[in-house]
Amino acid sequence: MNRKMILLLLVLLFAGSIKTFSQSTRPRVIVTTDGEADDRASMVRFLLTSNEFDVEGIINSSSQFHWVGGEGWNAFHPVDWVKDYIALYAQVYQNLLLHDPAYPAPEYLLSKWKVGNINGVGVDSIRTEGAELIARVLLDKSDAGPVWIQAWGGCNTIARALKIIQEDEPERMAEVAGKMRLFLIWEQDESYQEYIRPNWEQFNIPTIISDQFDCMAYIWPKVLPEQVKTYFEADWMTKNILQGHGPLCSAYENNQGAFNAEGDTPSFLYNVPTGLRSMESPGNGGWGGRYVNVRNNVWMDPLPDSTYKHPDGRWGFSNSWSKKMEHDTTTVKRPIRTHYFKPIWRWLPAVQNDFAARAAWCVKDYASANHHPVVRLKNTPLNIIAKPGSKVKLDASATTDPDGDQLSFKWWHYVEAGTYDGDTIATSETAKTTIRIQEDAKDGETFHMVCEVSDSGEPSLTRYQRVIITVR
């Protein structure tokens, strides 16, 4: 048995259960979903990534696009689709355990599935089981760890949960807000603006309202660079996901073999502990995108150019920059659009290879599959104070690979994430490197140096470690 697996099993043995293990080591997440086709595709990836999370809830909700009573394209997909997907996950669960014993049991996931507020757009007047579950998790004093709540659809079930807290235990609102984290895929109904913003935003809840997710939704063929599109086209998807990877992957909704859409996936990619430290600040950037602070602790997409501005109110389909730029084809506007989506697409080859590896885990034994390298720094703090003109040593030579694969290293300067606005530090392709902080760097400015490590396995898998250097 692989040494990594032995260590994990020992941890599980002494912790007593997967639940106890996950609480202490993994992000706690709650998913709310309106069940659209791209939600169902995202759910396949979410379940295959669930070993990275402590799943506290999977909840049906509604949106401006899908609700009970909606007709045609707006029709609501029957809520049992979640149970059906968990049943497909159950069929590959034992094989997934060969690769990581932290995968949650299907019975556990099923216990966390509840139906929320689905009977209308933005309707949050009913105390549904889904809303009550969210409230219960937030009020639970036994675990003070952050709870990342994802809105794949509208915010109405989340709003109803917060109303329960405000109505029943208003004295605990600040306490609850202190553990909440919100990631909204647009505002897909009015409930954020009408209830959450006036009642809860004052508590500075870290809140991401994303538009850049759209490059993983239905418009991907228009907006992704050619070198990235390869990972979404029929040849790649059929080979790596759709065929020969078990019943869960076979259920993945596609477009004639090609990627169709997973617009909600960035909300949980943000929580995958890749080493990029994205959960420390939305401004750091990572697999779920990079964002800028617009008010209180609310974060939105970086401006495409100076002619755009952040909205004062609701941010969504009707006024999003993504939709404004979707049909841009001129030589002037197209590069602006490409750059706008870069905070997500720059990671997508690694994201898709991660998906392919997890698909393989559904059917292969440990020795036949690939697993992520573990990036370890040596005598290199994650946060460094340095003077202008000084030299800083960066060392990732302690990095290992569970499969014994050859590793390639790249230390690169993530310019957009830092605050220094001068020359870019040169990239190094060795495990150990020394950089010099620019002489003109000012007090308090930051440099983000990312160590990117990829293995030689099939598919090649990538993990990172970010070092943040602050000038003093």
Supply φ then ψ for residue 466, to 5 degrees.
Answer: -105, 135
Neighbours of 222 (CB within 10 A): 15
d(CA 2, CA 370): 12
* pLDDT tens, residue order, the chain (472 aa): 444 443 334 333 333 333 322 334 799 999 999 999 999 999 999 999 999 999 999 999 999 999 999 999 999 999 999 999 999 999 999 999 999 999 999 999 999 999 999 999 999 999 999 999 999 999 999 998 999 999 999 999 999 999 999 999 999 999 999 999 999 999 999 999 999 999 999 999 999 999 999 999 999 999 999 999 999 999 999 999 999 999 999 999 999 999 999 999 999 999 999 999 999 999 999 999 999 999 999 999 999 999 999 999 999 999 999 999 999 999 999 999 999 999 999 999 999 999 999 999 999 999 999 999 999 999 999 999 999 999 999 999 999 999 999 999 999 999 999 999 999 999 999 999 999 999 999 999 999 999 999 999 999 999 999 999 999 9
The CA distances from residue 453 to 171, 415, 421, 446, in Å, are 47, 19, 26, 22
Which tokens is 130 given? Answer: 């889904």
146-167 pLDDT tens trace: 999 999 999 999 999 999 999 9
CA–CA separation, 175 and 190 (whole Å): 25
pLDDT digits (tens, 9 = 90+) for 422-451: 999 999 999 999 999 999 999 999 999 999
Q: What is the pLDDT of residue 25?
A: 75
- At 267 the pLDDT is 98
Strand partners, 448: 468
- Residue 421's Cβ-count burial label (10 Å; 0-12, 13-18, 19+) is exposed
CB 34 within 8 A of CB 63: yes
| CA separation for the pair 36, 67 (Å, rounded) | 10
- Could you give the 3-state DSSP secondary structure of residue 437? coil
> In order of start, what are the domains of the chain with their CATH numbers?
3-300 (3.90.245.10), 372-471 (2.60.40.10)
Largest pairwise CA distance in the chain: 65
Cross-strand bridge partners of residue 464: 452
Q: What is the pLDDT of residues 72-109, one digit of tens each?
A: 999 999 999 999 999 999 999 999 999 999 999 999 99
Token digits of residue 430: 């060795």
Share the mean pLDDT of the chain. Answer: 94
The span from the CA of 205 to the CA of 179, in Å, is 8
SS3 246: helix
- The Cα 273–Cα 269 span in angstroms is 9
Residue that the structure tokens 């405000």 belong to: 166
pTM of the model: 0.93
DSSP 286: B
pLDDT above 70 coverage of the chain, percent: 95
Q: Is the peptide bond prior to 402 cis by the omega test (within 30 degrees of 0)?
A: no
Task: Name the phi and psi angles at 5, rounded to 5.
Answer: -65, -40
Residue 257 burial (CB count, 10 A): 16
